[in-house]
Amino acid sequence: MLDLNNKTSIITGGGSGIGKAISILFAKQGSDVYILDVDEAGARATAEEINSGNGRATFIKCNVASAEETSAAINNIVAERSTIDIIVNNAGIAHVGTIETTNESDFERLFSVNVKGMFHVAKAAIPFMKEKGGSILNMASIASTVGIPDRFAYSMTKGAVVGMTLSIAKDYLSYNIRCNCISPARVHTPFVDGFLSKNYPGREEEMFKKLSATQPIGRMGRPDEIAYLALYLCSDEASFITGCDYPIDGGFSKLNN
């Protein structure tokens, strides 16, 4: 069950948080993992952790916002492995602000990474997946479907991710390329800790509890919990699933009053 032996996986943003957890789990299940990230230190550490545990991982420094860098990275992977089986478009950045407090440069920066980054990876990889099929998994967010205060630009980009997922799923049905997305609520990652220390110095513990309580289940998610859902959706056991957005949110989108 959930065996990824002999499968080649490309995971963007694998240097920390959810991407790191997915990279480690996929390697544990037998996949050859390629980590694309701009965080050289974090991504190298993830790859080294995998390789030291008898897994197989390769780090390629790549800014997915650049079409040229992304295409070169994908071509290098195909030159080594001749095929691509799984793509996890996880790389993304966040922003706090309403439409009034979001400036144009912030808007464009989020769109470049969160939307164009996924576009660049999928566009470069799909031609190499068409012969035998595969799975594409995009990281969306409950912010795409639930109104969250002060997350205008971030919510906009994640809504685009859901639309992109449906379009790819529809267009490549005949090639046996499945495309789904995951929509997490708050997940406890290094980003959350950095956000709290930057915006609430001295009140980190108080605000962590407050943010955790917004999930009806009473806590934030863990990166490994997201990784297990990603594993299922990218495995052959999920071969009947495409064009779906899966909330994994501790009840946030359905149980909040």
* 255 inside domain: no
pLDDT in tens, 32-83: 999 999 999 999 999 999 999 999 999 999 999 999 999 999 999 999 999 9
* 254 inside domain: no
The whole-number average pLDDT for the span 15-29 is 97
Q: 130: closest CA among 171, 89, 81?
A: 171
pLDDT at 164 over 70: yes
Instruction: Please tell me whether residues 212 and 229 are part of one structural domain.
Output: no
Q: Which tokens is 76 given?
A: 């290098």
* DSSP single-letter state for residue 32: E
Mean pLDDT of the chain: 96
Instruction: Please tell me whether residues 168 and 243 are part of one structural domain.
Output: yes
Instruction: Please tell me whether residues 24 and 89 are part of one structural domain.
Output: yes
Residue spans of beta strands (DSSP E) within the chain: 8-12, 32-37, 56-61, 86-89, 134-139, 177-184, 245-248
Just list the catalytic residues: 154
Domain that holds residue 111: 8-185+222-249
**Domain count for the chain:** 2
Please report the sign of the dihedral spanned by the C-alpha atoms of residue 152, residue 154, residue 158, residue 163.
positive
SS3 (DSSP) at 140:
coil
The H or E element containing residue 166 is: helix 152-171
Instruction: Please tell me whether residues 18 and 111 are part of one structural domain.
Output: yes
Instruction: Please tell me whether residues 96 and 196 are part of one structural domain.
Output: no
pLDDT classification of 257: cutoffs 50, 70, 90? low
- State the pTM of this model: 0.96
